[in-house]
Structure formats: structure tokens, C-alpha cells
């Protein structure tokens, strides 16, 4: 599959409803990870670019925050229409910029733009913007303000959709900083938003790196909320930068997800599918089941199944249809994965398959061998550190209690997986796993469900109903209709009947006198 993409806007930023020349002039090359060829370049923004975008977003918030739910739903439905029209371009862009095989890019990467949108449309339809509590007070849910959104390279549109759409749905305005490594899909998404008819300044796109644009957004006093997806290290930096202005911060960070395989499961099916899940997206998923914990009485059999499954995973050209995996997204990541494979060898783990270097017949591109280690203990680096490549470690356990202990023995808590035919056991074990999501016997994530982690995997939830909450402030209206309250004594107000804290029906004549006395500059015939 080959699509001619229009790169006209790639060197520009999208600000205030227009594609504008960046203030900065710092170039960044975008490379195809399969061919190592230059695709194009972007201009990395600076703090001035950030300030400009925030200023327009702040001004746009005044009107957009007052739009009705029905108006925002209409815009979201138009957004869906345009997204469908440009679906193939989105998919192909991710094939070019990050090496996602085109079949996978369509079925998963680009599909997320529509799937999450549908989930948020349903969530917005059900959202109660005003709710009366049992005590008679009224809860008001309103947009939090200007939002800074930072997204990663491994699931570019998935994460853009999970952040941009709830911002637009709730009446917020936003500035998106996509990964500088995957700017093409972000550019197309900005064009989609523009064509959908969103008002100027509501959505803005500023390319840049973390130290300059990412930090500029996090520190900016006019940004009320930061949503970040990326490494745990970078998440800490966003949190620290945001602390200066005490803004809300939501984080979706790293993972080292355990996959507990009990001997009573269908071993061939469950292990084969687990290996495929680990290698999916070339292992570049934060919730990938990269630690397989195997019950000892089936360990030897499981090793053979896992080895065969990994060796049946093919590596191929991303632009060719099929179920193969593609390259890692750049040389830096390739070198990191190679280093961790060497660490595993040095730690004494047994290499079942894969290993160092490129697969056979690949002389260029950041392709790696699907790799499986056995005889791994959970204190090894390859069992504790996120490798972010197609590398699986196999760890034996003897008892259910030991499996739970090993599974939770990690600084991360994004996802966990359980394979067993015993329903009661699956629920019992799941209840004790410290993870944001537990997948049982191949259960997959569904659009509209909350996604997020425990511990150093982050905070907050993305997707569906809960995905709207982080973009909303909750206000409280107390009191009674037609009334106002006051706290301080005033000699101009005489209470003849009832409570002085709840004065009903203030006469306009008295109001006119009060205004004339305390604010004569507004007590004109016009204002009366």
C-alpha cells in the first residue's frame, strides 16, 4: 500500500485556526525507521511558540467553555466524519514515521481514532453537567481550562485521541505537543480538526521536544491541566514542572506487566497468544505482557510453546500487508533493546530464541529479533526494567501466592494478565494484583473503558466516562432560589423578618441606593 501524503504543513505549527510559521528555527529530521531514509523535517518550537499558542487557547476558552453539550456533540460527530475520510492517510503516516506494519496500522493504530471518539461521544451524551445532591445542593461540572497535552511515538493517534477528544468534548481548549518522532500523523489530525470546523484557538499544535516545549507547557501559569503519556522519568519531570503553578497532572507511564500462566489453562492457545501480544507493535507498548510467570509443573512444556510461538512471528516490510512485526522506531531505541538483550545474557538468563543483531536478510532499518529468555529471576534487570522491544522473560513459580508476590514485585502497575480455566481462581488472583487493568484469558481492552495504572505507571484514567473527569472541574452551588447570603454586618441592611444570612427579595430601590453609595461609577441611567 502506498499513499502520497501531503507534507506541506509539516514545517508549520497549527495555532489559532491557521498553519503558521514557528517562531523558532530549530530543525528536526523525521526518518523512516524501516529504510533509515529522510522523510522530512519539523521545526521544534520554543517557549515563545508555547506562549503564543497558550495565549490564543486562553482567549478561545472564554467562548468555547460556554458552548452547550449538544453543540460539542455535533462537532464530535463532524470530527468522526472527517476522520473516516482520512483514515487511510492516518494509517499510512504511522507506517512511514514509526514503522507500524500497514495492516496493524489500520486495524489498531488508526482504528483508535474512531474507537475512542465513539467512546467519548457516548460518555458525553451521558454526562450530567448539573446534578442535584440528596442534600439539595447542586453539583456543576464545567471545563477545567486550557490543557497541555503531551503524547508519545509508540501509539501516536491512540494517545492523541485519548487526550484531545475529551478536551474538546468538555469545552476545554488545548495545546498538543506530539512526539517529535511521529509528527506526520499529528499534522493530519490537526488538519482533520480544522476541517471539522472547530473555532480558532480551541485546538493548537506545537511541535517540540520535552526540555523546551514540554517544560514550557508544564510551567505555564495559564495552563490548568497537563496530560502526559511517556516514560516514568519524563512523567516525574512534568509533575515537578507543573508543581510551580499547582495545576492538575495526569500521567500514563511505563509498565512491566506480569502474565500469570496456570497449568490448568489451555497452554498452547494461551501461551501462543500471549507471546503474540508481547511482540505486537514490535513490543513497543507500555502494557505489553513482558513477564510471563509460569506454574512450575508445566514450565518445561511452556518453554517449548513460547519458543515456537516467537519463532513463528515474522519480521517484514511495514508497507506490506500481513501480520508481521516491523522495526523499532529509531536507532536510539534499537541500541537500548540490544543493550538489554546483552544484559540478560550477562545476568545468566537462558536465551531460548532471538538475541542480538538484526534478523536474517535485514541489513538496514531498526529491525530486531523476537527474543525469549528463560530461567529468569524477578530480581534481574530484564525482569524489572521496561525494555520496550519484542523481548519476553519467562519466570517459574510454585504456588498461587508466590505468583501474586512476583507479579506485584515491580515499581509498575499498568496491566496484568491471567491464564486459567478456573473462574474462581481468576477472580481471586485478579483482586490481589496491583494493576490498572487485569486481562483474563485473552480479554482485550475495549474502547470506552478506563485505561491507566497504579504505582509508577501513573495516575488518572483515560477513555470513556472516566476519561472526561480529568478535564472537568466540579463546582458546588449552595443556597435557595431567589436568595443571597452575606457574612459581614452592614448598617445599610435592616432585617425586619427572617434570618439575616438568607435575605429574599431585595427591593430594586434599595439595590439602586446601594450601588450609588458603593459604586457610583456604575450607577448611571444606562446601567439602571
Strand partners, 41: 29
For residues 163 and 175, give the distance between their C-alpha atoms in angstroms, rounded to a whole number.
10
**Catalytic pick among 286, 295, 298, 469:** 286
Phi-psi region for residue 463, left (φ > 0), alpha (ψ -120 to 50) or beta? left
Q: What CA–CA distances, in Å, run from 178 to 22, 99, 428?
A: 15, 17, 40
Asked if 369 and 337 touch (Cβ cutoff 8 Å), the reply is no
Task: Please say if 174 is a catalytic residue.
Answer: no
Task: Please say if 252 is a catalytic residue.
Answer: yes
Which contacts (CB < 8 Å, 24+ apart) does range 74-78 have? Answer: 75/168, 75/196, 75/197, 75/198, 76/117, 76/120, 76/121, 76/124, 76/165, 76/168, 76/169, 77/121, 78/196, 78/197
**Catalytic pick among 252, 386, 462, 469:** 252
Asked if 409 and 432 touch (Cβ cutoff 8 Å), the reply is no
For residues 225 and 54, give the distance between their C-alpha atoms in angstroms, rounded to a whole number.
12
Cα dihedral 58, 59, 63, 64 sign: negative
Asked if 12 and 41 touch (Cβ cutoff 8 Å), the reply is no
What DSSP element (H or E) covers 26? strand 26-31
Asked if 151 and 495 touch (Cβ cutoff 8 Å), the reply is no
- Tell me which residues are annotated as active site: 252, 286
Amino acid at each position: 500500500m502506498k499513499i502520497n501524503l501531503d507534507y506541506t504543513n509539516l514545517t508549520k505549527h497549527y495555532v489559532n485556526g491557521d498553519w503558521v510559521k514557528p517562531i523558532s528555527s530549530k530543525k528536526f529530521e523525521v526518518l523512516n525507521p524501516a529504510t533509515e531514509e529522510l522523510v522530512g523535517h519539523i521545526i521544534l518550537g520554543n517557549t515563545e511558540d508555547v506562549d503564543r499558542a497558550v495565549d490564543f487557547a486562553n482567549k478561545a476558552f472564554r467562548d468555547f467553555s460556554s458552548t452547550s453539550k449538544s453543540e460539542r456533540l455535533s462537532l464530535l460527530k463532524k470530527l468522526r466524519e472527517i476522520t473516516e475520510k482520512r483514515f487511510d492517510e492516518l494509517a499510512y503516516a504511522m507506517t512511514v514515521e514509526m514503522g507500524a506494519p500497514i495492516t496493524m496500522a489500520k486495524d489498531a493504530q488508526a482504528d483508535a481514532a474512531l474507537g475512542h471518539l465513539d467512546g467519548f461521544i457516548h460518555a458525553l451524551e451521558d454526562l450530567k453537567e448539573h446534578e442535584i445532591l440528596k442534600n439539595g445542593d447542586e453539583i456543576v461540572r464545567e471545563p477545567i481550562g486550557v490543557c497541555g497535552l503531551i503524547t508519545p511515538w509508540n501509539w501516536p493517534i491512540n494517545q492523541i485521541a485519548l487526550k484531545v477528544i475529551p478536551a474538546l468534548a468538555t469545552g476545554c481548549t488545548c495545546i498538543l505537543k506530539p512526539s517529535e518522532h511521529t509528527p506526520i500523523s499529528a499534522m493530519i489530525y490537526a488538519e482533520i480538526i480544522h476541517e471539522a470546523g472547530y473555532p480558532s484557538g480551541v485546538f493548537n499544535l506545537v511541535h517540540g521536544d520535552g526540555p523546551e516545549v514540554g517544560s514550557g507547557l508544564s510551567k505555564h501559569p495559564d495552563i490548568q491541566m497537563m496530560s502526559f503519556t511517556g516514560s516514568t522519568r519524563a512523567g516525574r519531570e512534568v509533575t515537578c514542572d507543573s508543581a510551580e503553578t499547582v495545576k492538575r497532572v495526569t500521567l500514563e507511564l511505563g509498565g512491566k506487566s506480569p502474565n500469570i500462566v496456570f497449568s490448568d489453562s489451555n497452554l498452547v492457545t494461551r501461551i501462543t497468544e500471549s507471546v503474540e501480544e508481547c511482540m505486537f507493535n514490535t513490543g513497543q507498548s507500555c502494557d505489553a505482557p513482558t513477564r510471563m510467570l509460569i506454574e512450575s509443573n508445566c514450565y518445561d512444556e511452556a518453554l517449548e510453546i513460547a519458543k515456537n510461538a516467537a519463532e513463528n512471528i515474522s519480521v517484514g516490510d511495514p508497507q506490506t500487508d500481513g501480520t508481521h512485526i516491523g522495526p523499532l522506531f529509531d536507532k536510539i531505541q534499537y541500541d537500548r533493546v540490544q543493550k538489554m538483550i546483552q544484559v540478560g545474557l550477562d545476568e545468566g538468563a537462558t536465551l531460548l530464541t532471538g538475541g542480538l543483531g538484526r534478523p536474517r536478510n535485514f541489513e538496514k532499518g531498526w529491525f530486531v529479533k523476537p527474543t525469549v529468555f528463560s530461567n529468569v529471576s524477578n530480581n534481574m534487570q530484564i525482569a524489572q526494567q521496561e525494555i520496550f522491544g519484542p523481548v519476553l522473560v519467562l519466570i517459574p513459580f510454585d504456588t498461587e501466592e508466590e505468583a501474586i508476590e512476583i507479579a506485584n514485585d515491580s515499581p509498575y502497575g499498568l496491566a496484568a494478565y491471567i491464564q486459567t480455566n478456573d473462574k474462581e481462581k481468576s477472580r481471586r488472583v485478579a483482586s490481589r494484583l496491583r494493576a490498572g487493568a487485569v486481562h483474563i484469558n485473552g480479554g482485550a481492552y475495549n474502547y470506552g473503558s478506563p485505561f491507566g495504572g497504579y504505582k509508577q505507571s501513573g495516575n488518572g484514567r483515560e477513555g470513556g466516562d472516566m476519561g472526561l473527569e480529568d478535564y472537568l472541574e466540579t463546582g458546588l452551588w449552595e443556597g435557595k432560589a431567589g436568595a443571597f447570603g452575606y457574612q459581614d454586618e452592614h448598617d445599610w441592611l435592616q432585617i425586619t423578618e427572617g434570618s439575616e444570612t438568607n435575605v429574599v427579595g431585595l427591593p430594586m430601590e434599595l439595590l439602586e441606593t446601594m450601588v450609588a453609595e458603593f459604586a457610583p461609577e456604575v450607577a448611571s441611567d444606562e446601567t439602571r
